[in-house]
Amino acid sequence: MSQAISANNIVKKFQLSNHETVTVLNGISVTADYGEFVSILGVSGSGKSTLLKCLSSLMVPDNGTVSVNGLDPYALKDSQLAKFRRQNISMIFQSYNLVPELPVFENIILPLRLAHKKVSKEEVTNLLRKMYFEADINAFVHTLSGGEQQKVAIARTILAGSQLIFADEPTGALDSASRQVIFDLLKQLSRQGKCVVMVTHDIELASETDRSLILKDGQIFMELHHPNASDLYAALRTDKR
């Protein structure tokens, strides 16, 4: 398997006030390969979303290096970076990042339109059906429930066809049947050779990924290969502050 991501000694701090900073990531090193499904776990506020942003070219770390597809995204000019992201990366955000004023279908095909790729309505409809998406494809997304919006965000990512997929709690708002379906779709993408990095609080799903990283106090507190649920429960129990 070839390397998709390599991050070395990442530090990320946030300025809280004039006098106060908080170090959220304190020397994190991570690699992930194509064909691999990596999960990131940790208590709320442990820095999972921040790490995902640093790894996915969205947030420049204060220190350390990030290499995505063999390239340092933060060394690119803005226009190059936008192109690099479009060509390599898909992101499912914790907050969905949909365009509320656009219908479901238009939201889903937005990245494809931007990349001047062909879109088949049938492909979109088939995927949505597989995901148990019950709402109207022509509905405006602001009229959808949280779970439905999450499915739209996931469908958009899957159809974009990127080699690198970052997902921040992609199953957080879903019922248990949809949760497993969405997870299986992501897993299928990793089996097709894509690199999937997923933040989750869901231990059962994490135990079906290839590797789990557990964040605590700004560092990788534990790394589990082929994690099983009881090891993950134990790791997260000791992780309680």
Ligand X SMILES: Nc1ncnc2c1ncn2[C@@H]1O[C@H](COP(=O)(O)OP(=O)(O)OP(=O)(O)O)[C@@H](O)[C@H]1O
Q: Which residues bind Mg ion (CB under 5 A)?
A: 49
Closest distance between ligand X and the C-beta of residue 216, in Å?
10
C-alpha count within 13 angstroms, C-beta hemisphere, residue 113: 8
Contact by Cβ (8 Å): 178, 131: yes
Site map (CB under 6 A) of ligand X, residues 12-31, x = contact: --x---------x-------
How far is it, in rounded angstroms, from Cα 226 to Cα 209? 7
Nearer Cβ to ligand X (118/237)? 237
Nearer Cβ to ligand X (45/100)? 45
Contact partner, 233, from Mg ion, ligand X, none, Cβ < 5-8 Å per class: none
Residue 186: burial class (beta carbons within 10 Å; 0-12, 13-18, 19+): buried
How far is it, in rounded angstroms, from Cα 173 to Cα 237? 23
Site map (CB under 6 A) of ligand X, residues 28-67, x = contact: --------------x-xxxxxxx-----------------
Closest distance between Mg ion and the C-beta of residue 109, in Å?
27
How far is it, in rounded angstroms, from Cα 74 to Cα 222? 27
Which residues form the interface with ligand X (CB under 6 A)?
A: 14, 24, 42, 44-50, 94
